[in-house]
Structure 1
Amino acid sequence: MLQNIRVVLVNTSHPGNIGGAARAMKNMGLNRLVLVDPQEFPSPKADARASGATDVLEAAQVVATLEEALVGCSLVFGTSARDRHIPWPLLDPRETASKCLEQIQAGGEVALVFGREYAGLTNQELQRCHFHVHIPSDPEFGSLNLAAAVQVLVYEARMAWLAAHDQPTKMTKLEAGADVNAQPVTADELEQYFVHLEQTLIEIGFLIPERPRHLMSRLRRLYGRADVTRLEMNILRGILTETQKTVRGEPHKRRENDV
């Protein structure tokens, strides 16, 4: 479905920016690149900056005008870094991604249009867009590199698509075959730890059974927020065991710090 989004670069002057944009697109699962009257393309500089996304460059469509680039599009977004005083709907990248998703889910074609490195899109070109997009960068240094601007918008598009399809947005190790030590402890394992912890605190004189106050309750809340893994639990239980040995005067078993 992300293939219904095309990235349109208008009159790009540096081929390296075309390559950087292609790489940004492929990172986020997009591959439809349209170049309007590029000053230098194809180019080895573009290939070098693409860093493995040369297939996006090879499939890029080169056209003479913005009108040709937008054929078949039902929704067009034009990026602009400056206030042009044009009474046009203005969106930020996240809002843009949301509208993109609505359109492509309905089967429409969407274009994200980026202008020249030195001047952006002209007023006439911006008027061919349904919405204008502004990336809220620091006003003290607000001009983004072309490929960086592409990266921001395609990233937001991907995040919106992942959320809509209930796909994870974070890497996880809790997959089939993953290290069992990376899994969170179970409720009964945590309860066993609390018993061990309470015993140890009593032995070192930190917890007085006759006057426990709310110590264990507070510690339970603390560990409940920690999302402890089994490996971390083994470390904590080991610390308690060695602490008890010290209090009892028992010999310690030398161990390697391999955790």
Structure 2
Amino acid sequence: MLERIRIVLIGTSHPGNIGGVARAMHNMGLTDLALVAPRCEAITQDSISRASGADHLLHNAQVFATIEDAVGDCTLAVGASARSRTLPWPMLTPRELADRLPGECQSPNARVALVFGREDSGLTNEELQRCHAHVNIPTNADFSSLNLAAAVQVLAYECRMAWMGQHANEPAAQAAPRPDADDALASHADLERYFEHLERALVAIEFHDPDKPRQLMARLRRLYLRARPEQMEMNILRGILSATEKAAQHKQPRE
């Protein structure tokens, strides 16, 4: 399970924080580190020093230009942040997130991304809306700011505890039927392609006006991310959109 969890850092500005994250990950047995548009060099004397023996994670880290690229092959993306400022989103505590992981990783193509934002401003609303859910660490309300590595450590610890619980019940877990390939969840990249297709179709039938969006696409994004469609279901939905576009093209203009 732990090998299916990716830590994604967006816009990190201090190499020491990247090193601290690597150390926190290695402490808890996580190995997959992704950096999105970092604002600093990932491998420096400071980051290696802060990694304290986990610098192999720094050297193996993948660097991406966008969040979409970093989580494209993931089936669940969870943004570490307070609630979105413009539109409520499913919110989890770290423990609730961990409780979901054993079942989440049953899907044959499962991969989970835990997404962390910039040290100074966190994740943007647009980035948060690329996530299926948000996770918020319940801190002291009078002093709620967490160091990036500390935030990663909290979630990584909960992931490890979930893994240990699953390992302790391994015989029962092995007896459970395994899902087959037809049950594979749609990846984040599949969903992004669907959202692009959906918006195009809604514009074609004049249901959606991009100049007056009224948060329509954000609300539809929240709906489908909450539904967690499978790949086969996504193929059906894409087929419906293609048929809708075709019908719209052949629609006779009103007199």
| TM tier, smaller | 0.5 to 0.7
TM-score of the aligned structures, taking structure 2 as reference length: 0.63
Q: Distance in 1 between matches of 2:5 and 2:86?
A: 28
Partner of 2:28: 28
Q: Deviations over 1:101-136 (max 9, x none)?
A: 321232300000000000000000000000011000
CA deviations over 1:223-259 (Å, ceiling 9, x no partner):
xxxxxxxxxxxxxxxxxxxxxxxxxxxxxxxxxxxxx
Give the superposition deviation at 1:54. Answer: 0.6
Q: CA deviation at 1:44?
A: 1.7
Q: Is residue 81–residue 142 contact of structure 1 (8 Å, CA) maintained in 2? A: no
Q: Which has the larger radius of gyration?
A: 1
Q: 2:119, 2:148 within 8 Å by CA — same for their partners in 1?
A: yes
Distance 1:106 1:82, change over 3 A: closer
Q: Which structure's relative contact order is higher, taking Cα pairs within 8 Å and 6+ residues apart?
A: 2
Match for residue 121 of structure 1 among 111, 123, 133:
123
Unaligned runs of 5+ in 2: 170-255
SS of the residue 1:16 aligns to: helix
**Inter-partner Cα distance in structure 1 for 2:87 and 2:142:** 22
Supply the distance in 1 between the matched residues of 2:28 and 2:48 (Cα, whole angstroms).
Answer: 18
Equivalent residue runs for 1:241-252 within 5 Å: none
Shift of the 83–67 alpha-carbon distance from structure 1 to 2, 3 Å rule, reads closer
Contact between 1:47 and 1:54, CA under 8 Å: does it hold in 2? yes
**Counterpart of 1:161?**
163
- Residue deviations 1:11-45 (CA, integer Å, cap 9, x gap): 00011010000000000000100000111122221
Give the whole-Å Cα distance in 1 for the aligned partners of 2:7 and 2:45. 21
Give the secondary structure class of the aligned counterpart of 2:105.
helix
Which runs of structure 2 are paired with 1:35-114 in the superposition (5 Å)? 35-41=35-41, 42-81=43-82, 84-107=85-108, 108-114=110-116
User: TM-score, with normalisation over the residues of structure 1?
Assistant: 0.62
Pairing of 1:99-248 with structure 2 (within 5 A): 99-107=100-108, 108-166=110-168
Aligned residue in 2 for 1:230: none
- Partners of 1:81 and 1:120 within 8 A in 2: no
Contact 2:83 2:134 in 1 (8 A): no
Partner Cα distance (1:82, 1:119) in 2: 14
Q: How far apart, CA to CA, are the structure 2 residues paired with 1:111 and 1:44?
A: 27
The aligned amino acid for 2:33 is L
Deviations 1:195-235 (A, max 9, x none): xxxxxxxxxxxxxxxxxxxxxxxxxxxxxxxxxxxxxxxxx
| Contact 2:94–2:158 (CA under 8 A) maintained in structure 1 | yes
Aligned length: 167
The sequence identity of aligned pairs, in percent, is 58
Q: What is the letter of the counterpart of residue 68 of structure 1?
A: D
Letter in structure 1 aligned against 2:16: G
- Which piece of structure 1 moves more, 55-64 or 37-46? 37-46
**Which sits farther off after the overlay, 90-99 or 108-117?**
90-99
Q: Does 1:2 align with 2:2?
A: yes
**1:82 Cα deviation after fit:** 5.6
- CA-atom RMSD in angstroms: 1.3
Aligned partner letter, 1:45: D
Per the alignment, in what secondary structure is the counterpart of residue 141 of structure 1?
A: coil
CA contact (8 A) 2:86 2:125 kept: no
Quick one: distance in 2 between partners of 1:95 and 1:85? Answer: 23
Label 1:131 to 1:82 Cα distance change in 2 as closer, same or farther (>3 A).
Answer: closer
Structure-1 separation of matches of 2:115 and 2:102: 16
